[in-house]
Structure 1
Amino acid sequence: MFMPRLITTSQLLFLFFVNISLVSAEPRLGTWTQGAPAPTKRTEIAAAALDGKIYAIGGFSKPSFSNILDFAISRDVEVYDPATDNWSVTTPLPEGRHHAGIATLDGFLYIIGGFAKSGLTIWHAVNTVYQYNPATQAWRERAPMPTSRGALGIASYQGRLYAIGGYDGEQNSGATEIYDPKTDSWSTGAPLLAPRDHLAVATVGSRIYAIGGRSNLKYRQNTSMVEAYDPTANQWQTVANLPTARSGISAGTINEQIYVLGGESEEGTFDNNEKYYPDEDRWMTMTPMPTARHGLGVAVVNERLYAIGGGPTPGASFSRINEIFFIPQPQND
């Protein structure tokens, strides 16, 4: 006859504390919720937060009869209000762009570079700079980058914008070009140690970080390399590698820590959410995105990270997904 094994009091206490530690460990890895989906399905978008709202711009729309003449390259500018969980639309880009760089600075939004259609190609690298004024909902063109390139990264630091890496139509660019909006002019900084495209960039403290990416638009050539740029010394140096070699990624910064989301490779798309601690030069794996994607836009509002759009499968795939990441604050008893 089978007799159940009795559990001692000490064993019960052990199991209790193990379970408590597992439960309490989860919140520090973060939680995902769903926000209202974007109005249109897109991928390879640019996204940034400005005045508490998130702008999702350009990219590729899901092909249809209405956009076939533009090769589905989007001019759309959709605006998400986290406070109301609602979307609206504003003035479209002057011209469609995909794989463009984006940043906000001094109350304006900037779309820099990217790819446009030219003849029968959709991979024509451009050097245009468009500035958006939320007060007038108008775009105006500013001084172009010295180098045409798409799939680049843009960072802001001390009143200037840094356009980093990308693909110029023939090869990878390691360019670091610096825009000063006060003079509407560009200067040149030290190039990346490893030129690449489809990377993510982020600013923390006095450093700008160039994270991951790929060589020559090929996701079979993903890299885990991370470089840190010192604007004062005008110098790049390598730091701890991204745990997972990825490209087609995006990043956001919360409390001086960088979160790198998504990506693609020949095996598929990534749901990875990996956090970098610049002051410790180490990475930590966080709760993954509910939906694996590449070409997504990421922005941060009120210490919440919004992952918008992107392709659920490698290449030409599209979504309206809006997933929100946050780390719950401990409750005081």
Structure 2
Amino acid sequence: MARPALSRLVLLGSLLATVPATLPAAAHEVGAWAGASSAPAERSEVAVAALDGKAYVIGDYNGATELLIYDLATDRWSKGAPFPYPVHHTMAAEQGGRIYKFGGYVNGWEATDKVWAYDPKANAWEARTPMPTPRAAGGAAPLSDKIHVVGGSGSGRGNVRSHEVYDPANDRWSTAANLPTPRDHLAVQTVEGRIVASGGRIDGDSSKNLAANQVYDPARDAWSEAAPLPTARSGVASAVLGREVFVIGGESNRRTYDEVEAFDLPGNLWRALARLPTARHGFGAVTYKGRIFTLTGSPRPGGDRSGTVEVLDPNGAAPAR
């Protein structure tokens, strides 16, 4: 399959235009990848969040509970207080100096509503008010002083469209406009004061991947359609740099993906970048000093795992060490 490559895209129309942006051919792929120190334990189906120059890897498909901590500046790993119980397909986000973990699957494929906060200074987990809707494999994204939890699936892997908003300061939940296209294993990120929900799958079935790309405007409490994800996939990692959401890797029922595609929200357009060296899914990504760090994940569809760490410089220079 030919690699889609492009240097620039031009979009005619606005974010609400009915004709989606497409990916024209161009001369070369953009960006450069480099390896980094592998995690001390192999993981997949994790949640990853960053705080104060460190990335926190939570959960594991195979039941590991140790909290893995990666120092983004020094390329060194350490371990924190173990999570209280095995969980996979969980969601995490940073807010107010803590890492918050939402839901996930426990006891096999039972969706939980449990919420926990990790305090790095105390190296301790604390239970918080549960989510209104138990779910796993959704997305969590901070917006202003709150965290939005979007989509996912319940026990039995049927999709939920719920969009719920957590207030960490008051430990309270509220509801917001439902996700228009219910799905799980999607990318959910905050950019330019809005939330972008990209890709995913129907009812946990990776043979039913979606290209859906929808944008939530908190001022209107409403979602709108945006240019679809060029490569329909699920189980991706995602991160934000500037005004772009990067959607990385993923899987179908047949293969893992190495595609890296970035969505420019104000322009409502996508561009392709240099491919992920190790195609994988069930992993996470964070940004640090203009680079994107991808951590752990499965190189094969299903329940494999790895300790792989690979770093993308979208401007094309390999990370200095």
In the alignment, does 2:39 pair up with 1:38? yes
RMSD, aligned α-carbons:
1.5
Using the TM superposition, give the Cα deviation of residue 266 of structure 1 relative to its aligned residue in structure 2, in angstroms: 2.1
Using the TM superposition, give the Cα deviation of residue 76 of structure 1 relative to its aligned residue in structure 2, in angstroms: 1.8
From 213, 216, 228, give the equivalent of 1:241.
228
- Contact persistence 2:30–2:315 (CA under 8 A): no
From 51, 55, 65, give the equivalent of 1:75.
65
* Cα distance in 1 for residues equivalent to 2:140 and 2:181: 17
Q: Which runs of at least 4 in structure 1 moved beyond 4 Å after TM superposition? A: 25-28
- Contact persistence 1:126–1:148 (CA under 8 A): yes
**C-alpha distance after superposition, 1:270-294 (max 9, x if no partner):** 0010011101000001001000001
In the alignment, does 2:186 pair up with 1:185? no
In the alignment, does 2:139 pair up with 1:162? no
SS in 1 for 2:169: coil
Residues 34-183 of structure 1 aligned to structure 2 (within 5 Å): 34-60=35-61, 72-117=62-107, 122-170=108-156, 171-183=158-170
- Contact persistence 1:27–1:328 (CA under 8 A): no
In the alignment, does 2:274 pair up with 1:274? no
Q: Which has the larger radius of gyration?
A: 1
Using the TM superposition, give the Cα deviation of residue 57 of structure 1 relative to its aligned residue in structure 2, in angstroms: 1.2
- Contact persistence 2:30–2:316 (CA under 8 A): no
From 203, 224, 227, give the equivalent of 2:190.
203
Aligned to 1:215: 202
* Cα distance in 2 for residues equivalent to 1:323 and 1:192: 31
Cα separation, partners in 2 of 1:50 and 1:27, compared to 1, 3 Å: farther
Gaps of 5+ in 1: 1-24, 61-71
* Cα distance in 2 for residues equivalent to 1:241 and 1:28: 20
Higher mean displacement: 72-81 or 46-55: 72-81
Using the TM superposition, give the Cα deviation of residue 328 of structure 1 relative to its aligned residue in structure 2, in angstroms: 3.6
Aligned to 2:17: none
Using the TM superposition, give the Cα deviation of residue 74 of structure 1 relative to its aligned residue in structure 2, in angstroms: 2.2
When normalised by structure 2's length, the TM-score is 0.88
Q: RCO higher in 1 or 2 (8 Å CA, sep ≥ 6)? A: 2
* Cα distance in 2 for residues equivalent to 1:141 and 1:44: 22
Using the TM superposition, give the Cα deviation of residue 264 of structure 1 relative to its aligned residue in structure 2, in angstroms: 0.6
SS in 2 for 1:269: coil
When normalised by structure 1's length, the TM-score is 0.85
- Contact persistence 2:29–2:272 (CA under 8 A): no
**C-alpha distance after superposition, 1:60-117 (max 9, x if no partner):** 2xxxxxxxxxxx3221211111222110001011111110011001111011011011
Aligned to 2:12: none
* Cα distance in 2 for residues equivalent to 1:86 and 1:300: 16
* Cα distance in 1 for residues equivalent to 2:27 and 2:78: 35
Using the TM superposition, give the Cα deviation of residue 163 of structure 1 relative to its aligned residue in structure 2, in angstroms: 0.5
- Contact persistence 1:166–1:173 (CA under 8 A): yes
Using the TM superposition, give the Cα deviation of residue 26 of structure 1 relative to its aligned residue in structure 2, in angstroms: 8.6
Residue-pair matches, total: 291
**C-alpha distance after superposition, 1:23-46 (max 9, x if no partner):** xx9997111000000011111011
Q: Which has the higher helix share?
A: 1
* Cα distance in 1 for residues equivalent to 2:215 and 2:268: 10
The alignment-based identity, stated in percent, is 39
* Cα distance in 1 for residues equivalent to 2:261 and 2:218: 25
SS in 2 for 1:264: coil
Gaps of 5+ in 2: 1-25
Structure 2 residue identity aligned to 1:227: Q
